[in-house]
Amino acid sequence: MVLILLILLSIGTFGYIIIEKRSFLDSLYVTVVTLATVGYGDITPATPAGKIFTIFLILFGMSILVYTVSTITSFFIEGELSQIFRRKKMQNQIAMLKNHYIVCGAGRTGSHIIAELKKTKRDYVIIEKSDDTVQQLENCLYLVGDASDDNVLKAAKIDTAAGLFATLPTDEENLFLIITAAELNRNMKIISKAVKETSVKKLISAGASAVVQPNLIGGMRMASEMIRPHVTSFLDKMLKEGKGDLRVDEAAVRSSTIKKINDINFKESGALPLAIVTKNGYVFNPDGNTELKEGDKIIVMGNTSQVSRLKEML
Q: So where are the chain's domains? A: 2-77, 97-212, 246-313
Q: Which fold has domain 246-313?
A: Alpha-Beta Plaits (3.30.70)
Q: Has residue 261 got a pLDDT over 70?
A: yes
What distance in Å separates the CA atoms of residue 237 and residue 218, rounded to the nearest whole number?
Answer: 18
| Confidence band for 63, pLDDT divided at 50, 70 and 90 | low
Query: 57, 46, 56, 51: which is closest to 5 by C-alpha?
Result: 57
| Confidence band for 243, pLDDT divided at 50, 70 and 90 | low
Q: Give the pLDDT confidence score for residue 82 in this predicted structure.
A: 67
Q: Give the pLDDT confidence score for residue 86 in this predicted structure.
A: 77
Which of 18-22, 33-37, 74-78, 262-266 tops mean pLDDT?
262-266
User: What secondary structure letter does DSSP report for 199?
Assistant: G
DSSP three-state, residue 169? coil
Residue, of 136 and 82, whose pLDDT is higher: 136
Q: Has residue 52 got a pLDDT over 80?
A: no
Q: Give the pLDDT confidence score for residue 95 in this predicted structure.
A: 92
Q: Which of 28-42, 75-89, 225-239 has the lowest mean pLDDT?
A: 28-42
Q: Give the pLDDT confidence score for residue 100 in this predicted structure.
A: 96
Q: Give the pLDDT confidence score for residue 308 in this predicted structure.
A: 86
What distance in Å separates the CA atoms of residue 97 and residue 248, rounded to the nearest whole number?
Answer: 25
Mean pLDDT (the chain) is: 82
Q: Has residue 1 got a pLDDT over 60?
A: no
**DSSP codes joined into one string, 243-308:** TS--EEEEEE---TT--BGGGS-HHHH--EEEEEEETTEEEES--TT-B--TT-EEEEEE-HHHHH
Convert the pLDDT of each residue in 4-32 to its tens digit: 667 777 877 777 778 877 777 767 767 77
Q: Has residue 71 got a pLDDT over 80?
A: no
Segment 285-304 mean pLDDT: 86
Question: In the CATH scheme, what architecture does the domain 97-212 have?
Answer: 3-Layer(aba) Sandwich (3.40)
Q: Has residue 203 got a pLDDT over 90?
A: yes
Segment 84-96 mean pLDDT: 85
Q: Has residue 40 got a pLDDT over 60?
A: no
Q: Which of 31-45, 206-220, 281-295 has the lowest mean pLDDT?
A: 31-45
Segment 179-184 mean pLDDT: 95
Residue, of 254 and 175, whose pLDDT is higher: 175
Residue 177 makes CB contacts below 8 A (sequence gap 6+) with 104, 147, 148, 166, 168
> What number does CATH give the domain 2-77?
1.10.287.70
Compute φ and ψ for 300, nearest 5 degrees: -130, 165
Query: 202, 201, 200, 162: which is closest to 181 by C-alpha?
Result: 162
What are the angstrom distances between the C-alpha of 77 and each of 59, 73, 82, 290? 27, 6, 9, 65
AA letter at 243: K
Query: Alpha-carbon torsion 59, 63, 65, 66, what sign?
Result: positive
Q: Has residue 126 got a pLDDT over 80?
A: yes
With a pLDDT cut of 90, the percent of the chain lying above it is 32
